[in-house]
Amino acid sequence: MSKKKSVPGHAVWADIAVGLLAGWVATQVTNLAQRPLRRATPEHIDRHEAKVRPGASSSLVAARKLAEILDVAPSQGRDARWGKAIHLAVGMGWGPVYGLLRRYGGLRPVGAALASGSAMSLILDEALVPALGLSAPCHHYPTFTRVRGFIAHLVYGAAVAMAAEGLGHALGRPPGSPARSRPADRGPGR
């Protein structure tokens, strides 16, 4: 009797690809959700935010800093394009976090959605973005601003979950399926 090799239950690259695409979808959904969240912002909060932030958005500030590092002459059009690209790259790059939480963390979809959205808000908005000088320190912003950002990242978490689950099921690779190898089909009677 010969032993058959195990067939991998998943491929990490497939999880990453699904996560990147789900991150793209979630970024688009979050951008749409930002509009009503911004409209709900009181005018005095808008004025305060404009006074303390170093630029129109952290992505735009990042684009300008990148242009400085690359020693490229300032250009509003290029900065806007680079800012959008940076924003999208960050959103896409965070997408695989959801799949990792599902597959390796053993979280259910709702838990992984909440964890990935919350972690994105806390790690990026509350820590990394201010530390890199892409925004003012968090304590300079009103609580309303920080709550609005947290809600937007929860929307991201929900959207990345729906996209990843849908894509995963369509590909026959749901994000929560085990990461272990499974035995090859032995056929009837074996």
Is the pLDDT assigned to residue 185 strictly greater than 60? no
The pLDDT tens digits of the residues spanning 28-39 come to 999 999 999 999
The b/e string for 69-94 (b: 16+ C-beta within 10 A; e otherwise) is: eeeeeeeeeebeebbeebbbbbbbeb
For every residue of 80-131, which 3-state class applies, written as one string? HHHHHHHHHHHHHHHHHHHHHHHHCCCCCHHHHHHHHHHHHHHHHHHHHHHH
Single-letter residue type at 46: D
- CA-based max dimension of the chain: 77
Confidence band, pLDDT 50/70/90 cuts, at residue 190 = very low
Tell me the pLDDT band of 125, cut-offs 50, 70 and 90.
very high
Domains of the chain, residue spans? 12-42+96-170
Q: What is the pLDDT of residue 97?
A: 96
Q: What is the pLDDT of residues 130-141, one digit of tens each?
A: 999 999 999 999
- Across the range 151-161, mean pLDDT stands at 98
Q: What is the mean pLDDT of the chain?
A: 89
pLDDT confidence of residue 178: 64
